[in-house]
Amino acid sequence: MSTHANKVVLAYSGGLDTSVAIGWIGEQTGKEVIAVAVDVGQGGEDLEVIRRRALDCGAVDAYVVDAREEFAADYCMPALKANGLYQGTYPLVSAISRPLIAKHLVKAARDFGADTVAHGCTGKGNDQVRFEVSITSMAPDMHCISPVRDLALTRDLAIDYAEKHRLPIETTKHNPFSIDQNLWGRAIETGYLEDLWNAPTKDVYSYTEDPTYPPLPDELIISFESGVPVAIDGRAVTPLEAVQEMNRRAGAQGVGRIDIIEDRLIGIKSREVYEAPGALALIEAHRALEAVTLERLQHRYKRQVEMTWSDLVYEAQWYSPLKRSLDAFIEDTQRHVTGEIRMVVHGGRATVNGRRSEVGLYDFNLATYDSGDTFDQSWSRGFIEIYGMPSRLAAAREIRTGGATGF
């Protein structure tokens, strides 16, 4: 009978590399392989087809899970509340999916009695770190391997292995890109994009239409409750439905294309192209509502927390104590982020043009310069005197001691 010591749980995508990895791991380690496929909204084939393929490729068992609702509610929504953007630009498309996939890998390993988890990442990228740190953060006793990194499984070997063993998977040496996609967006790298001077061509994109020739502007109203979108144009939506609809509508207008040089966790720079229409449009709307509802100092400090939160998530710290503490702060800031944002998506841009909230801190009577102004302008003279006192005293000292006053 099999024991936990000779079983490996493999993160299975249904593609060439992980299909070959099933038999490769068995040959290289002598362990049986259980394939685990997790749907985080990447589209493509039916989960049952993927499960069947894993078994046909030699897995002793295969486990599939539709995690789209969980991903939207428990991973995309926290990223939205945090306005999560690495380097101020990248909405953490892959970074937020890995902790969820790792969670299901650990669960499967426990259920099937395995002591090792395998993934298809290379030794040059961020995802190897995200998977393994997430796995060991939940299961410190678990071992992790990568067939590509640890067992010398190159792409040429994978193609030859698949052809030799007649595995039910398409093999090709000509796909120029490495692509990862899910509900929150799509990441594209390698191929001719590695030459920084080369512009992305139209075949790079799938989630977004060319913004050069957009359809007519699309105006919509997004309703939020405590930082979470709950309705679009008055129709109630779940987190999953909100992201799906914004992907469709913003993507049709070419919103969400990103082309950046990214500082990877392992220390190298990488050219990355992303499509994240729903994520970027929702973050823009969420930020606009926070500007109405957050107190000034709270709003200012949250921007600092957002940068740290994004760096932590990018750098494989989803389950870290600091990330957990920042989550508590961010969640507290969202108590009054409730209201509606009107937005126009058109020609690659998502532009907020209306805001309203019953719990907002904007007071028309204080803000207006017209009749009905309730702000007592005489207050400002004393405020300025007190506010400027430290600088005035310092300037007087400089004059007194012959120092510079800045002019």
Whether residue 371 lies in the annotated active site:
no
- Residue 393 counted as an annotated binding residue: no
Say if CB 250 and CB 278 are below 8 A apart.
Answer: yes
Of residues 17, 39, 146, 186, which has the active-site annotation? 17
From the candidates 98, 186, 249, 257, give the one annotated as an active-site residue.
98
Q: Is 362 marked as a binding-site residue?
A: no
CA distance 356 to 360: 8
Phi-psi region of 30 (alpha: psi -120 to 50; beta: other; left: phi over 0): left
C-alpha to C-alpha distance for 398 and 405, rounded to whole angstroms: 6
Residue 187 per-residue DSSP state: E
C-alpha closest to that of 260 among 130, 95, 87, 98? 87
Q: Is 363 a catalytic residue?
A: no
Q: Would you say how long the chain is, in residues?
A: 407
- Residue where the block lists tokens 């395995």: 114
Q: What is the DSSP letter of 198?
A: P
227 is in an annotated binding site: no
Q: Taking Cα atoms as reference points, which of 230, 226, 253, 257 lies closest to residue 243? A: 230
Known binder of ligand: residue 19? yes
Tell me whether residue 51 is one of the annotated catalytic residues. no
**157 assigned to a ligand binding site:** no
63 is in an annotated binding site: no
Which residue of the set 2, 111, 178, 206 is catalytic? 178
Residue 301 counted as an annotated binding residue:
no
Is 186 in contact with 179 (CB distance < 8 Å)?
yes
Determine whether the annotation assigns residue 18 to a binding site: yes
Active site residue 127: yes
Binding site annotation covers 126?
yes
User: Is 15 known to sit in a ligand binding site?
Assistant: yes
**Phi, psi (5° rounding) for residue 152?**
60, 40
Whether 5 has a binding-site annotation, put simply, is no
Residues 6 or more apart whose CB falls under 8 angstroms from that of 377 comprise none
Which one-letter amino acid corresponds to residue 147?
P
Tell whether 37 is in a known binding site: no
Is the Cβ–Cβ distance between 239 and 71 less than 8 Å? Answer: no
Active-site residue (options: 127, 134, 180, 310): 127
Q: Which residue has the tokens 């970074």?
A: 95
| CA-based R_g, the chain, Å | 26
Q: Is 267 annotated as a binding residue?
A: no
Give me 144's structure tokens.
């992790």
43 is in an annotated binding site: no
* Residue found by looking up tokens 């920042």 in the block: 326
Ligand-binding site membership of 233 (annotated): no
Q: Is 127 annotated as a binding residue?
A: yes
Which segments are annotated as binding site? Answer: 11-19, 90, 120, 122, 126-127, 130, 178, 262, 274
Which segments are annotated as binding site for L-aspartate? Answer: 122, 126-127
Which segments are annotated as binding site for ATP? Answer: 11-19, 120
Query: Which residues carry out catalysis?
Result: 17, 98, 127, 178
Which segments are annotated as binding site for L-citrulline? Answer: 90, 126, 130, 178, 262, 274
